[in-house]
Structure 1
Amino acid sequence: MSYRRRNRNNIKSEINIVPFLDVLLVLLLIFMATAPVISQSVEVDLPEDKHSQSVTNESKKPVILQIEGVALYKLKMDGHFVEKSGEQLLTETDVIAFSSQAFQQDPHTLFLVAGGKDVPYEEIIKGISLLKDAGIKTVGLMTSSK
């Protein structure tokens, strides 16, 4: 009987962390394997300093897609905003139609996308995608010079 009492007194109440570490390592491997698959990307040709160009008033005026907010687009062609039904704000299909028409008239026209600081980045990418849907392969981003 004294033998049973010794066994009960010798029970260890420590946590075995080996299975815990095994599970953590397996989770780490799963996250490392799936992280490259999860990331999404958009192909963008970023200009380098020596190849970037500034647009002057002497050259032909570019077509500017101005993004005012979520699904709020204005298109500036030849220095004037394009209007449809007396309004300057255009829908996505209008942007594609007017941009495609301008590109067909002159394939060397420079297309730029402009957006303010408060415009979500997703909308800028959507604007670039709209111009790509219109058949334009090269699109520039407008920046303000300091």
Structure 2
Amino acid sequence: MAFASSSGGGPMADINVTPLVDVMLVLLIIFMVTAPTLSYPIDINLPQKSTTPPPPTPPKEPIKLRIDASGQVYWNESAQPISALKSMMEVEVQRDPSNQPALEIDTSPDADYGVLAKVLAAAKNADMQKIGFVSN
């Protein structure tokens, strides 16, 4: 009987979902088969494995930069004006950009923050990559 009455109030129509499921499964299979053919390759040049690795480069001696309480900046224990720091850092970076020396900054607890900010700005503008802070 296509129409059944569960509550006795009138006919109730049940939709047969079996053909709908069959059609959806067929469409799913069609999309799964045709989807890989719709994609197209992209040429990529990947790096190739090298049999001779590059020789290891030893790390350079770090640059010790100290700022004392009066605001004086010392580059490897020699006093330098703040205006000369950027050019000195650029020279160090240009020597070997891939193996830069580390910049170790040691500040006095009483040092002015403005001096440290100028030193960090000079290091950033000189493209220094390795910057560290020394704590005593």
Could you state the TM-score of these two structures normalised by the residue count of structure 1? Answer: 0.44
Could you state the TM-score of these two structures normalised by the residue count of structure 2? Answer: 0.47
